[in-house]
């Protein structure tokens, strides 16, 4: 898990509850399962852009991540570094979303 068990792992609802009025919340929770790391949404680049522009854009984003990570964190809203990925890594999420939205259109 990412983060610290005593503080609810992330900056989500658990963390807020612990800070506000439930400091012993994590002592009352029994963890029964841990998921693998869940990927954040990818940074997407349109496929119809010129190839050289896409390469420059990807290079600039990667450079910002390593040369000024504090700026990168503010720009993308996450503290993790970026890395290469593929559609296959997101396929379970895509399939789950499609299943959840069946019949709703």
| pLDDT digits (tens), the chain, 105 positions | 456 655 555 556 777 777 788 888 778 878 788 777 766 777 888 889 999 999 999 899 899 988 998 898 888 877 777 888 888 888 888 898 899 988 765
What is the distance, to the nearest Å, from the Cα of residue 29 to the centroid of all Cα atoms in its chain?
24
The pair of three-digit structure tokens given for residue 34, joined into one six-digit string? 């841990």
The pair of three-digit structure tokens given for residue 15, joined into one six-digit string? 């963390």
Give the DSSP letter of residue 21.
Answer: T
Rounded Cα distance between 25 and 8, Å, is 8
Q: Give me the residue label for tokens 């290079």.
A: 59
pTM of the model as a whole = 0.51
Q: At what angle do helices 51-67 and 69-76 cross, to 10 degrees?
A: 120
* Rg of the chain (C-alpha set): 18
The pair of three-digit structure tokens given for residue 50, joined into one six-digit string? 């010129």
């Amino acid at each position: 898990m990412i983060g610290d068990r005593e503080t609810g792992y992330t900056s989500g609802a658990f963390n807020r509850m612990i800070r506000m009025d439930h400091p012993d919340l994590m002592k009352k929770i029994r963890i029964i399962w841990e998921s693998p790391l869940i990927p954040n949404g990818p940074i997407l680049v349109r496929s119809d852009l010129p190839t050289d522009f896409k390469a420059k854009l990807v290079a600039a984003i990667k450079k910002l991540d390593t040369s000024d990570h504090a700026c990168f964190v503010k720009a993308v809203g996450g503290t993790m570094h970026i890395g290469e990925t593929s559609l296959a890594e997101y396929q379970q999420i895509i399939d789950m979303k499609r299943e959840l939205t069946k019949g709703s259109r």
